[in-house]
Each structure stands twice: as structure tokens, then as C-alpha cells.
Amino acid sequence: MAVTETERTAMRRALEIATSGPRGLNPQVGAVILSPSGETLAEGWHRGAGTAHAEVDALSKLTADAARGATAVVTLEPCNHTGRTGPCAQALIDAGVTRVVYALDDPGAESSGGAERLRTAGIEVVSGEQAGAAHDLIADWLELQRLGRPHVTVKWAQSLDGRAAASDGTSQWITGPEARADVHRRRAAADAIVVGTGTVLADDPALTARDGDALHTRQPVPVVIGTRPTPPDATVHRHPHAPLFFATHDVTAVVAALGERGVQRVFVEGGPTLASAFIAAGLADSVLAYIAPVLLGGDRLALTDIGVATIGDARRLQVDEWIPLGADLLAVARPVATRVDSVYRSEGS
């Protein structure tokens, strides 16, 4: 079934207004209701957990029967389940909508099936319009659905011979300013930055994302893992966000707890012990290795025990990018068994 140019324009608008909603446990979704003649009747978006979904938000702005014969253009398949709100598919049916155009199928085991419910009610349904843009909008949330937990990036800086520090423990700075600036840009894209208590005690890091001396507008929540107490005057306590402390070494439990808080992207840069714990637990969805052209020798390795006893157990990576950063080189990699689901990447109508 063909999508009209008016519907394409409405989908672009729906994608735009979807960003008005917060990122978190729920996807950002936008909706536009069009009259039979193609005029915009109402717009809506999801404002967060427990609030009306985008379609219902848009319908709430119309008088009774105003949506009869209308078309709903939505960035995500209307849901088919009752949670803190009712099923959006049924709300569209009750409103008298006769056509629904949406971008992405809902991947949820409980919430999917809205399209079939609409078709059963005699409503014309078209899917896949501007699916790539819609996927990019909620890629973090889709990843959360696929993994069942936040996406985890493990970062470290190392010398050419694989050391994270000199023999006396000093590590500032192995890499140059271009590499450090890249780290801060990537911190700003994360929801949480994770270190161990050992790093806090040894380096007293700020755990902020900075551009020179200025803070980035977006800051990750600082997370400290470990059983040793953090001094009350530690710099992390002056972070724009209140730090989260987990008195445990169970990184799997920590990631699960962060997911329950709505965290979608975790950035781990807490030193060799913590990085190795995440990798050993199979939690490293992507790896950032900043490699400096220096030799340090000694036993301060960038990684420690990651559960590899023999070459057959090696954790193999696929390097997606080699990025020069000044004199340094960044390897952007992911486990061979991990791939980003591309089912939503194709455009359709």
C-alpha cells in the first residue's frame, strides 16, 4: 500500500516531536493525526513512563468523533497491551481512525501485535515508512529490548605493549589530548559512567564529560562499584549528578540495577580490574581501546584475568573502526558474537 506525500511529511513531523519526550525505560514516540483531506488535526508524543502514549496524547486533544475517518501516523507500532496505560491500538479503533501508518514494529513480547489488532478491526495499516530514521531515534531503547539490559561500552587506554600504567602506578597521561577529548565526547553520549572504588581512591576522578575546562551540557551519572568506602571529600561528590554507589563486585547485578533506573548506555572506564570483570562476565557489547605509541614494560597490564585459560577460549573481537587521534590510535571493536540488529534499517512503504 502506497504512502502519500502528506503522510511522509507527517511522519517526519512525528519523528521531530518524538524527541520532546524523555529518553529512558520507554521509547521516544511521536504521532500525528491527519484528517481525510490531509490536514493535521492533532499531534502527540510520549512524555514518560505512566503517561499517555503518543497516539492517545494526540487523540486527547480532539473532540469526540473528530478522528473518525482520520489517519494516524506514528513512529512506532501502536501497542497492544494494558500496562499503566491501555492499548493504543484499541484507542485508535475506538476513535474511528480508518488508516494507520507507522515506522517500526514494536519488538516487545507483550506490547507487540497492535498492527494485527487494527487490521482485524478493519483498519488499513502500512508499516515501514521512514524506518531507518525511526530506528536511529530509539536505537538505545531497541538495544535495551534486545539485550534485556543496558548497552555496555568498556574503555581503556594502553601503551603499545599493553600496559595501563608505569611500574610505579602512574598513568597520566598515556594518551594525548586528542584521545582524551574523544573520551569526553563519548562520556557525554552515555547515561552512566562506571568506575571502581580503587580508581576513586587512587585518582580521585571527577567523572564528568568536559570540553576543555567547560562541562558538556549532557553529563553521565557517576557510578562507583566496590566495597571500600569513598571519602566524603572525593571529587565525585561534586558531580552535577548525585553518584550511585554499589557495595558489590557483582557487575551483572549492577548493570541490571542501572537498567531498572532507565539507564540505556553504560560507559566503563574504571581501570584494569573493573574492565576485566565486565569482559569476563560477557557484558562488554563494545570496546574502545586507545593505543599510545609508548612502551612501559612492567606488570601493569591493561587487562587482567578475563577467564581465558587457553587460546581456544580467546574472546575474539571484530574491529569496526581504526581511528587516528593525534599520535594515538583508537580501536572500536565488539565481540564477534554480538551484532546490532539490522531488521529495522531498511526503509519501506
Measured between its terminal Cα atoms, the distance across the chain in Å is: 7
| Residue 260: count of CB within 10 angstroms of its CB | 11
Please state, in angstroms and rounded to a whole number, the distance separating the CA atoms of residues 255 and 258.
5
Please state, in angstroms and rounded to a whole number, the distance separating the CA atoms of residues 347 and 147.
24
Q: Contact, 259 vs 229, CB < 8 A?
A: no
Please state, in angstroms and rounded to a whole number, the distance separating the CA atoms of residues 109 and 145.
10
| Residues making up the chain, counted from first to last | 349
CA 106 from chain centre, in angstroms, equals 17
> Which of these, 106, 113, 102, lies nearest to 349 by C-alpha position?
102
DSSP-derived secondary structure letter, 49 = T
Question: Cβ contacts of residue 147 below 8 Å, gap of 6+?
Answer: 285
Coil/strand/helix, residue 333: strand
Q: Which of 7, 16, 43, 55 is catalytic?
A: 55
**Matching residue, cell 549532557:** 218
**Matching residue, cell 490536514:** 39
Is 16 one of the catalytic residues? no
Query: Which active-site residues does the annotation give?
Result: 55
